[in-house]
Structure 1
Amino acid sequence: MPIIRPISDLRNNFNLIAETCHKEGEPVFITKNGRDDLVVMSHALYEKQQTTIELYRKLAEAEKESDDPNTNKISHSELIKKLRSRMNGEQRSD
């Protein structure tokens, strides 16, 4: 359930809002005159969300690249074989 507080709590009860953000690990929604205005969250939650967004961006990019017929592709077993070869110090053949 979302945590919703009036904007006056930012001024009067900031420490409570900060503690709630850290303790609950959820954002606190701030209203002004009964309407949505701000969202306050811990830095840890912000970083987690940014990391998730970046992961989804990279996955979308990889999926797009995977669908491209001009992209050179190798099978999983071929990739593992090449990586093991490199780890064992063998010279590259390509």
Structure 2
Amino acid sequence: MMYIKPSAAIRKNYNQISEMCKETGEPVYLTKNGEGDLVVMDIVAFARRESMLRLRENLVAVEEDRIAGKRGASIDDVASLMQIAVKEVLDGKRR
């Protein structure tokens, strides 16, 4: 679900918006003069998204290397990297 609030709401209802971000794990989009201006989100959700983006970037880089004919990693290496990535994401959820 997408939450959209006017920018004045952050000044008037900071605690309410903060609680909404924490409860839903979703960002709140703030508008100014009817146009998108800022996005506010819980720090735990932000850290989790950043971890997922890093993982996706790494996966894309590996796929690009594979397509270019570069030698890949062993199954054990990949399994180890995946365990680290999953741990990062789960640790982000626990904060």
TM more than 0.5: yes
Count how many residue pairs are aligned between Structure 1 and Structure 2.
77
Q: Per the alignment, in what secondary structure is the counterpart of residue 39 of structure 1?
A: strand
1:32-62 Cα offsets, whole Å, 9 max, x none, are 1111110000001111111111111100111
Partner residue in 1 for 2:14: 14
1:44 aligns with 2:47: no
**CA separation in 2, counterparts of 1:74 and 1:29?**
40
Q: CA RMSD in A?
A: 2.2
Superposition TM-score, scaled by structure 2 size: 0.71
Q: CA deviation at 1:67?
A: 2.2
1:50-88 Cα offsets, whole Å, 9 max, x none, are 11111111001111222233x345875xx6xxxxxxxxx
Higher RCO, 1 vs 2 (CA within 8 Å, ≥6 residues apart): 2
Query: 5+ unaligned residues in a row in structure 1: which ranges?
Result: 80-94
The structure where helix makes up a greater share of residues is 2
**CA separation in 2, counterparts of 1:27 and 1:6?**
14
Percent of aligned pairs sharing the same letter: 34
Give the conservation status (yes or no) of the 8 Å contact 2:6–2:31. yes
1:7-30 Cα offsets, whole Å, 9 max, x none, are 111111000000000001100010
Q: Structure 1 segments of 4 or more deviating over 2 A?
A: 71-76
